[in-house]
Amino acid sequence: MRSHAVDITLSRSVTRRELAQTVDVLRLATNHDRTRLLAVVRAKTIDRALQQTRRALEPLLPLDTLSTHFPDAAGRVLLNVAFPPAEYAFVQDAATRAGQPPASYVRDAVTRATDQVNRENTRHLERALDHVLTTHTPQQLLAAAARRLNSAPGMPGC
């Protein structure tokens, strides 16, 4: 069995009492406002680790999504989402129309949406750079970027 890091996003901040209920189930690390948790789970596969985590914590905490903490070899993060019945029925219907299982349909939809956002962000950055480069040389832009990165809090110096 391997150890897998699981990120847990909660639908609301939990109390210390709610967290204390999980002590016998899983050891959890929390963020500052107790809306995100991290667990290390022993399981044969990451899929099983996510399923075990959901089964163990669902009765105790207001779970939203579970995900792998580290991307896989292809750079992907695995999500585990439990849809309410009405939303799941919608996903099932859409997946059936698309000729896919629900999990594949959701995976493909999230991938398409993420790719679209990445394309839009790239276009936005390219337009901003085009604008800057109409009035500044590449050397000026590079020097300004280096100054900004060196003065940003938490950034190591070049």
CA distance 4 to 39: 8
Instruction: Name the CATH code of domain 2-82 (choices 2.30.29, 3.30.200, 3.10.620, 3.30.70).
Output: 3.30.70
Determine whether 113 is exposed, middle or buried from the number of CB atoms within 10 Å of its CB (0-12, 13-18, 19+). Answer: exposed
Which two tokens mark 97?
Answer: 């129309």
pLDDT at site 71: 86
The model carries a pTM of 0.70
pLDDT at site 151: 86
pLDDT at site 122: 97
pLDDT at site 10: 95
pLDDT at site 105: 95
Mean pLDDT by 10 residues, the chain (158 residues): 94 92 90 94 93 94 93 85 91 96 92 95 95 93 91 65
Q: Which long-range contacts (CB under 8 A, 24 or more apart) does 12-15 make?
A: 12/62, 14/61, 14/62
Domain ranges in the chain? 2-82, 87-151
